[in-house]
Structure 1
Amino acid sequence: MRQGLGAAPGPASRPNWTLVTEFVLQGFSEHPGLWLPLLACLLCLYTMALVGNTMIISVVSCSTSLHSPMYFFLCNLATMDIVCTSCVLPKALVGLVSEENTISFLGCMAQLFFLVWSASSELLLLTVMAYDRCVAICHPLHYSSRMSPWLCRALAMAVWVVCAVNALVNTGLMMRLPFCGPNIITHFFCEIPPLLLLSCSSTRVNSIMTVLADVFYGVINFLLTLLSYGFIIASILRIRSAEGKRRAFSTCSSHLVVVSVYYSAVFCAYISPASSYSPERSKVSGMLYTALSPTLNPLIYSLRNTEVKHALGRLVPLFRVRVMHRPFVQPGSPAPTSLRPGM
């Protein structure tokens, strides 16, 4: 620690302040008997998240049959999943096997930047994907023209840039705060709410920016997603046949599940004032959106999809064998339910 830096002038009775140069991540130290199961669980989730999302990116990139807006946005989502889980879980794994789980101030700020960037990007991408599904179901004849390659690339670039600026602003404001001790973060990674509680100066500006980000990324995007699904449900109800309704709903059911899980975790972690911060609740929600969600997304979105399985079959011999054992379908006849692609 560096003496005197960041200390505000005051009366002689005010204790000397010190500027924190490193933080201690509490992690799961309050449950010492569970370190081995937690280590195995986190290692398994991290490995599955890396393998699954890397496979999705590779398959979409190498298969021309998957060069569509839906899979383009899925590829972007998989990239952000890798960033999100990689900026958190490796440090959490090290903390489980080491006696002291410390992180430097700059390391904490870097982790905070990539976490905010990836988490906010996922929220925006989920909204964009909801719009994509809305156009596909409500305006199928105009889908190709409305979701042109140029528009898809522009939307993806806008998501990355806007969220990077948001992460840069929040991280910059956090770096301006003096941290004078204690330096124990009641979490297994650097997150905004527990960091604000450790600052020894006013966090009013940070809190305002956090609330504005919560309103934009959490509330507004959630309402836009609900609006898209309102149009989707209205369009599905106008379909006369039960089979047509089932097929239409199957194209967005997976996205709806992921949206529900991810927004529940984010709302639990961020949509609350810092004064009501709960370490245990935040750790559970943090596990959901930094470990579980990046692991489940490839399974929910793609690995159950016939188009992706066929693409995998052309790239990996193991999957080719599985695909070739599917039932034969006469050309022109309706495909069995198990063969129809659904997202």
Structure 2
Amino acid sequence: MTATLSVPIRTRHARMDPLERQQRRLFWPFVGPALAFYVILFLAPIGYAAYTSLYKWDGMGTMQWRGLGNYEILLNDPAFHTSVLNTLKIMVIGGAATFVISFALTMALREMRGRMFARSVLFFPNLVNALVFGIAAGFIFAPQGPVNQLLRLFGVEAVPKWLSVDNLPALIIATIVWTATGYYTTIIMAAVDQIPKYLYEAAELEGANAWQRFRHVTLPLSWDVVTVCAVLWTVSSVKVFEIVMLFGGGSIVANAPVQTWTTAMYVYLSAFSASSVPKFGLAAAAAMVSLVMVGVFVVVLRRIMRRDRVIL
């Protein structure tokens, strides 16, 4: 039996051309270092975080075994529930708004002269540090700021507290959408630019309106890029932190309001809270829940958005 099975294997290796044999020999020397870095920089920290999540630890003293106790605390913690809900709002509501606006801008700029300059202008907010948006919001939405002055100009009663705690979640989502729209518009425009113009011309000759051209030409032919953008948005929405910190007024003296927390903010404040003992075990447990959540969403999203590839 052994001899019978070994003959095809030897025959297959003998039939390989020299280039294929060389590629097989060089596979691990090239892939090995990258894989080692990936394990050291990503998989090892994830494993240590999972290990830490099973303990009560302040970062200095002895680690005390807690088992699934940290996860039980998260299950019963209203602050964690709020942070998960806010993260989901950013992911779903912010994502829907971002992609609708990105596609609208893409279709509006597709035939416009100077679209490369417009693309650069749209991308610019993505390059600006989040601290600038926090300072700008404090100026724009101040009681005597430009927004209220504009409302008074049109005879509308000014809003005295734009930056109240109740309004902060909506302002945070709006700011994230504003900063991210240019980034995703740039990517989607690059994909749409690769679609042959004769397809649009043929659709117009068949009597297709703008919506039908978008639905039957633009969207199917850019679907792979849209899928990648959706995955990138899902991953980035779980890591929203600095904008929440700035809008919420968080600092080393006082934490940001709980109503504005995301899962990333919950992890940070659990580990580096200014008002309580650090809880690295709880922070690690929250980080693991966030990791599992984003993993599940990415897998589900990939399955929902799976389509047969369109080949021109």
What TM-score comes out, normalization by structure 2 length?
0.29
TM-score normalized by structure 1?
0.27
Which protein shows a greater Rg? 2
**Whose RCO is larger (CA < 8 A, sep 6+)?**
2
